[in-house]
Amino acid sequence: MEHVFQLENVSKVFGEGAVQVKALNSINLEFHRGEFSALIGPSGSGKSTLLNIMSGLDTPTTGDVFLDGINISEMSGNKLCDFRRDHIGFIFQSFNLIPVLTVKENIEYIMLLQGVAEEKRLQRVEEILERIGLKGFNNRYPNQLSGGQQQRVAIARAIASQPSIILADEPTANLDSKTGTELIDLMAQLNADYGTTFIFSTHDQKIMDRARRLVTLEDGKIVSDKLS
């Protein structure tokens, strides 16, 4: 299978001298295209740090991170921002929608930055809104939506730009159990239909039950890597 992510001897150290904390310790990990996988482990295990490094939001102290064969740990500035924009979709637990933009405008925002033609943008927005069960919500604003609806829009925004991978940090943490289950089902269906790779960082047992691979971290090390 084709690799989408490769991490080679990745370590991350915070602080200096006696107060040094090794958040990640020589991580070697590969993810294949189309995976639906989860990083799990107790608080402080390193999973959020690992997700941040995979996303290019943070850099490793040592080691290399390859996305689509490109070493993103050697990138910086606008080059990294542009690469991240075109290759990585993000889903956050706090939704992170732009409050002054409508549903349509939030979904097409990254495509606008990518220079996607207006007709193509509108086509993708309409298609995805129907897929996520929000057809006709184009002109609503985030404050007119429930938490579950806002997260659906966040998922739509992440997938609309056709990224290589979607990184989801605790995407169900602020949702009730029923809504969380519906969104996990939605993401699993989008994964199956589009072949988009999803990597979660989560404590949610419902996501763990649906993930096809569980990577467990403790004290900055991988202690288990199992297919389910």
Can you tell me the distance from the alpha carbon of 120 to that of 124, in angstroms, rounded to the nearest whole number? 6
10/126 Cα distance (integer angstroms)? 40
d(CA 33, CA 196): 7
> Is the model's pLDDT at 201 over the cut of 90?
yes
User: What are 17-26's pLDDT values in tens digits?
Assistant: 778 899 999 9
pLDDT digit string, tens, across residues 165-186: 999 999 999 899 999 999 999 9
pLDDT band for 13, please (50, 70, 90 cuts). Answer: very high
- Residue 156 to residue 91: CA distance in whole angstroms: 9
What is the model's pLDDT at position 1?
65
Residue 2 confidence class, pLDDT cut points 50, 70, 90: confident
Both ends of the chain: CA-CA distance in Å?
Answer: 17
Which residue has better confidence, 112 or 16? 112
DSSP 27-58: EEEEEETT-EEEEE-STTSSHHHHHHHHHTSS
CATH of domain 35-56+76-227: 3.40.50.300
The string of pLDDT tens digits covering residues 104-141 is 999 999 999 999 999 999 999 999 999 999 999 999 99
Question: What are the residue ranges spanned by the domains of the chain?
Answer: 35-56+76-227
pLDDT above 70 (res 101): yes
Residue 46: predicted pLDDT = 94
Is 99 exposed, middle or buried (CB count within 10 Å of its CB: 0-12, 13-18, 19+)? exposed
Token pair of 205, please?
């047992």
Q: What is the pLDDT of residue 121?
A: 95
Could you tell me which of 203, 174, 171 has the C-alpha nearest to residue 42? 203
Q: Would the pTM of this model clear 0.75, i.e. be above it? A: yes
Query: Which ranges in 56-176 belong to alpha helices (H)?
Result: 77-87, 103-114, 118-131, 147-160
pLDDT at residue 75, rounded to an integer: 92
